[in-house]
Amino acid sequence: MNPLLLLVPVALYFPALSAQTAMDKSFEDLGGRYVREFPELSPVGATVLGDHRFDDRLDDIGPEARGRAAKFDRRFLKDLTAIDADRLSRPNQVDYALLEQHLKADLWRLETLQDWAWNPLNYTDLAGSAVYGLMSRDFAPLPERLGHVASRLIELPRLLEQVRGTLVKNRVPQVHAETAVKQNRGVLSILDNMVQPHLAGLNADERKRLEQALAVARTAIDTHQTWLEKELLPAAQGEFRLGPQLFDQKLAYSLQTSLSRQQIRERAESELSRIRAEMYKVAQEVYRKKYPYTEFPADPSREYRQAIIRAALEFACRETPPPDGVVETAKKSLETTTAFVRARDLMTLPPDPLEIIVMPEFQRGISTAYCDSPGPLDVGQKTFYAVAPLPTEWTATQIESFLREYNVRSIHNLTIHEAMPGHFVQLAYANRYPSTLRAVLSSGTFIEGWACYTEQMMAAEGFLDGDPLMKLVGLKWYLRTIANALLDQAIHVDGMRRDDALKLMIEDTFQEEREAAGKWTRAQLTAAQLSTYFVGVQEHLDLRREAEAAWGKDFQLKRYHDRVVSFGSPPVAYVRALLLDETVPRRK
């Protein structure tokens, strides 16, 4: 090369590359500014995220705060218009789409859905997380974290007073008010179990300040409990069903998929029929092991198939953990599932610590278990696989129903989903994605879809030596996923009533009464969320088939899994584009 050419600006020879680099820098600066600024809108959310600049503050939820949030969203949306997304690198095109979608969704929630006015669970979670987020992980010295707990507890009366002034009582649905009544006092259990035991380790001044803050908080919680029970609950008469317009809008923001509500329903109904037929085949195998001389009819009726599937599932339902041993059973299951993933070399496992815990009281009433991963700014901190204990008020019949649903094999499936190689593994890698913006803007559909995909993948790889009962339980869990999607829209759009919902769950998808009753409550509380499981797993299964076809003989499962989780948690459509080198889609 002529050395004189080195003196010529690179842009003259590579103008497109230079323009892309400049546009990428503009967008990355914008994304960095967003990551720095948005946590201040919710100090409690910032703590959970792993941003600890605001650990001594408690959220403001009044009208001025909502106005600031909406102004913030509009400012960043306006700034995004100065960025030409087509001139960005492919990873930045994905991040651009995620940020734009997130800002629009937040504005829609604030101004159209207005759940701040009618959903008290937003605030029971906020109050509980304000303390739990500081105490659950050792991200800073204990005295420092306890000092921040004291600062937040002193502000708790102000927050709860704002809650009482923000909620419009006659817009609050009855089921939301009932759940808030149950959750509110859960903050006290956090104070008793996670804060009170550490008082003795503080110096005199620190201890006195925290003791005073605890007293203030307990009084505030009691006052709020009285208001919830005596004022909110009797006045709560809002409609929990969103209706078609709001549901479709929320579904679009939640799923970020090309599938319409009708397409989701049609696909779910088709899968329901297919999986029930597959369950009958596996059930025959299970039944013949017990009764080897059984002859099955060539064209069995639906009732006959139903009876055989139930009879086969009964063998699994009899192997239950003790009522006080669900958490311990989950711990043993984690050892089993981890050993299987390692033995089959299904994917690279992260080094992060994982602990199985009893679900905190303020989080109960919605699901049986969840994975509580650290925020993307607290990479490497402990992940919690939380399992709800059996409610003390349950009858012996209700306890039996729950344990039959969460039998030993079901807990294996639960552990696969929540921990190994489901949420725990995937989120540990998502938190490590180089773009912090990508790490904080996750897709619930990708996350839940991955966890459901791993259930089916583990069964296909022969988990528990291909035990047919494990296969049958796994298929039943997939039926639950299918039912979730059907229930979601049937309840919020079509007006499905409790009896019909329970019939779908108990008869069509073989769920026990306690699981079905709990899911009915959850469906009322979480519109559009239950669809994420089914849509997500469908997209993940489709993606794997496409990768197998594209890579051909070079397809290798570990490589595939490691690559899929390496992109963070964007919607599957963006992962497909990055994985298979396709055009990054632009969503409206």
Three-state secondary structure readout of 332-377? HHHHHHHHHHHHHCCCCCCCCCEEEEECCHHHCCCCCEEEECCCCC
Asked if residue 8 has pLDDT above 50, the reply is no
Separation between Cα atoms, residue 376 and residue 378, nearest integer Å: 5
Count other Cβ atoms within 10 Å, centred on residue 582.
14
pLDDT at 13: 46
Separation between Cα atoms, residue 312 and residue 473, nearest integer Å: 10
Mean pLDDT value across residues 268-275: 98
Q: How far is CA 197 from CA 106, 167, 319, in A?
A: 39, 34, 38
pLDDT grade for 19, boundaries at 50, 70 and 90: low
Asked if residue 343 has pLDDT above 50, the reply is yes
Report which of 146, 144, 138 is spatially closest to residue 190, judged by C-alpha positions. Answer: 146
The encoded tokens of residue 190 equal: 């956090």
What letter represents residue 405's amino acid? E
Separation between Cα atoms, residue 241 and residue 243, nearest integer Å: 6
Asked if residue 355 has pLDDT above 70, the reply is yes
The encoded tokens of residue 192 equal: 């008793």
Instruction: Look over the chain and give the mean of its residue pLDDT values, rounded to a whole number.
Output: 94
pLDDT grade for 3, boundaries at 50, 70 and 90: very low
pLDDT at 364: 82
Report which of 476, 474, 521, 528 is spatially closest to residue 502, judged by C-alpha positions. Answer: 521
Separation between Cα atoms, residue 470 and residue 414, nearest integer Å: 12
Q: Is 201 exposed, middle or buried (0-12, 13-18, 19+ CB in 10 A)?
A: exposed
pLDDT grade for 220, boundaries at 50, 70 and 90: very high
Separation between Cα atoms, residue 383 and residue 142, nearest integer Å: 18
The encoded tokens of residue 43 equal: 């100090």
Separation between Cα atoms, residue 381 and residue 369, nearest integer Å: 20
pLDDT at 125: 96
Asked if residue 384 has pLDDT above 50, the reply is yes
Q: How far is CA 183 from CA 94, 116, 167, 190, 371, in A?
A: 38, 17, 16, 12, 19
575 within 8 A of 446, measured Cβ to Cβ: yes
Q: Give rounded-to-5 percent helix, strand, coil for the chain.
A: 70, 5, 25
pLDDT grade for 16, boundaries at 50, 70 and 90: low
pLDDT grade for 21, boundaries at 50, 70 and 90: confident
Report which of 153, 176, 177 is spatially closest to residue 57, judged by C-alpha positions. Answer: 153
For residue range 519-548, list pLDDT tens digits in order.
999 999 999 999 999 999 999 999 999 999
Separation between Cα atoms, residue 375 and residue 383, nearest integer Å: 10
Separation between Cα atoms, residue 568 and residue 432, nearest integer Å: 8
8 within 8 A of 97, measured Cβ to Cβ: no
Report the helix count and the strand count for the chain, using DSSP H and E.
Answer: 26, 3
Lowest mean per-residue pLDDT among 172-186, 305-319, 381-395: 381-395
Q: How far is CA 103 from CA 353, 502, 538, in A?
A: 33, 37, 26
For residue range 42-72, list pLDDT tens digits in order.
999 999 999 999 999 999 999 999 999 999 9
Asked if residue 11 has pLDDT above 60, the reply is no
Longest dimension (CA), the chain: 90
Q: Residue 35 contacts by C-beta under 8 Å, 6 or more apart in sequence?
A: 436, 437, 440
Asked if residue 5 has pLDDT above 80, the reply is no
Mean pLDDT value across residues 313-339: 96
pLDDT at 15: 54
Tell me how many degrees the CA angle 106-112-116 measures, rounded to the nearest 5.
70
Separation between Cα atoms, residue 421 and residue 305, nearest integer Å: 33
Looking at per-residue confidence, does 16 or 573 come out higher? 573
pLDDT at 588: 62
Q: Residue 324 contacts by C-beta under 8 Å, 6 or more apart in sequence?
A: none
pLDDT at 18: 65
Q: Kindly write down the DSSP assignment for every residue of 217-266, as one continuous string.
A: HHHHHHHHHHHIIIIIHHH--B----HHHHHHHHHHHHH--S--HHHHHH
Mean pLDDT value across residues 146-160: 98
Strands 354-358 and 369-372: unpaired
Mean pLDDT value across residues 232-249: 98
312 within 8 A of 283, measured Cβ to Cβ: yes
Within 13 Å of residue 293, how many CA atoms lie on the same side as its CB?
0
295 within 8 A of 267, measured Cβ to Cβ: no
Q: Kindly write down the DSSP assignment for every residue of 51-68, as one continuous string.
A: --TTTT-----SHHHHHH
pLDDT at 17: 52
For residue range 183-206, list pLDDT tens digits in order.
999 999 999 999 999 999 999 999
Backbone angles phi, psi at 235, to 5 degrees: -90, -10
% of the chain residues with pLDDT over 70: 96
What letter represents residue 89's amino acid? S
Count other Cβ atoms within 10 Å, centred on residue 557.
16
